[in-house]
């Protein structure tokens, strides 16, 4: 009898991590079903990803617009019903969002074996909700799937045994490689051009919620556009903040700046691929730029993905226009670090995870 595995996802970053699971499940005779909690729900930022990836969702909980507590509680109640119906041998919880934590607690309370995809990452900043979700999920996971060596160290420090830890690589890279043809076909650069622009994304509350934070972004954009073309892909949270603080019109007055709405996966990956540099506060983009060997400046105090710094093309720093401009000069002069692709970021992580799951369940 084939083993039953249930995967729970809820946000765009989650979707990017699971695109190849059904394909390999079929090859390995695994009965695999996907639950989408609905945590991310708007068309441009969520459903279009599922359509592009042709991900077949088996259960849609459609839990939208909730506070964190009510969202987690409602997911647990609805997911419990699915678990009773499907009777999985293993539940795979993905990433570090509220859906991740809800799924993990539900599996634990119902005595279902739990696996955590992208386990062991740590920013060591418990003010980040994602950090707390990671810590709690890892604590109760039976098997932990790791993307980088820092994850192994962090998991051993909380008492995980060797048999519970599997270094498998990064499933986000599986998606990048699987859809490289579709990425290249995107027409997003027709009105932008190739290789001569800086790509910017900002969405974390610490960078976009307060007026003085937005003023820092505006100051940086004005400095950058003196010498560079800048493409600012504006997250809905960021746009709403600019609107609320009456600063959106200021961006219209900045020459050499192109503000664009959120892009679908293929278009955004093409923007990364052909950029001169990426400036961001995102987690996943740090990994995607490292794989592409595109210089990345991450405007945060910490990162849960240290391999992107120690081996990749990522630099972590605070908002400091002078230092950022200095790094851009280094990139232009080819004195910026080149970076390497981390071990096992080769497009085969999904297959490794499912094989490890079968070994674990045997």
Query: In b/e form, how buried is each residue of 245-269, taking b as 16+ CB within 10 angstroms?
Result: beebebbeebeebebbebbbbbbbb
CA 301 to the chain's CA centroid = 18
228 is annotated as an active-site residue: no
Q: Tokens for 340, please give them.
A: 């390497």
CA 231 to the chain's CA centroid = 20
Nearest alpha-carbon partner for 328 in 215, 189, 200, 190? 200
Q: What dihedral do alpha carbons 308, 311, 312, 314 form, nearest 10°?
A: 60
Query: In b/e form, how buried is each residue of 36-49, taking b as 16+ CB within 10 angstroms?
Result: bbbbbbeeebbbbb
Q: Which of 36, 40, 116, 203 is catalytic?
A: 203
> What are the φ and ψ backbone dihedral angles of 200, each rounded to 5 degrees?
-125, 135
Query: Could you give the CA distance from residue 115 to residue 140 in angstroms, rounded to a whole number?
Result: 9
Query: Could you give the CA distance from residue 273 to residue 291 in angstroms, rounded to a whole number?
Result: 10
Q: Would you name the residues annotated as active-site residues?
A: 203
């Amino acid at each position: 009898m084939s083993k039953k595995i249930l995967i729970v996802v809820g946000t765009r970053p989650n979707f990017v991590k699971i695109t190849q699971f059904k394909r390999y499940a079929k090859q390995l005779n695994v009965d695999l079903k996907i639950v989408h909690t609905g945590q991310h729900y708007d068309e441009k930022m969520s459903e279009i990803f599922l359509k592009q990836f042709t991900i077949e969702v088996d259960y849609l909980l459609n839990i939208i617009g909730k506070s964190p507590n009510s969202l987690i509680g409602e997911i647990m109640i609805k997911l419990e019903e699915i678990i009773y119906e499907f009777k999985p041998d293993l539940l795979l919880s993905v990433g570090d969002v509220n859906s991740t934590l809800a799924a993990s607690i539900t599996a634990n309370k119902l005595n279902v074996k739990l696996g955590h995809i992208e386990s062991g990452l740590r920013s060591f900043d418990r003010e980040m909700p994602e950090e707390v979700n990671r810590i709690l999920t890892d604590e109760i996971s039976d098997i932990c799937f790791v993307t980088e060596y820092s994850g192994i160290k962090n998991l051993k420090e909380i008492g995980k045994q060797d048999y519970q830890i599997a270094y498998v690589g990064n499933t986000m890279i599986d998606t990048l490689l699987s859809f490289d043809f579709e990425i290249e076909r995107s027409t997003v650069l027709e009105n932008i051009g190739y290789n001569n622009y800086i790509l910017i994304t900002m969405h974390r509350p610490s960078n976009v919620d307060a007026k003085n934070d937005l003023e820092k972004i505006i100051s940086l954009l004005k400095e950058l556009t003196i010498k560079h073309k800048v493409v600012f892909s504006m997250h809905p949270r960021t746009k709403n903040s600019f609107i609320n603080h009456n600063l959106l019109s200021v961006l219209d007055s900045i020459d050499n700046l192109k503000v664009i709405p959120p892009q679908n996966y293929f278009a955004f990956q093409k923007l990364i691929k052909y950029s001169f540099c990426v400036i961001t506060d995102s987690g996943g983009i740090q990994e995607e730029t490292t794989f592409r060997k595109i210089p990345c400046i991450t405007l945060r105090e910490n990162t849960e993905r240290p391999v992107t710094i120690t081996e990749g093309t990522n630099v972590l720093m605070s908002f400091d226009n002078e230092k950022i401009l200095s790094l851009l000069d280094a990139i232009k002069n080819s004195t910026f670090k080149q970076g390497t692709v981390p071990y096992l970021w080769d497009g085969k992580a999904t297959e490794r995870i499912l094989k490890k799951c079968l070994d674990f369940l045997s």
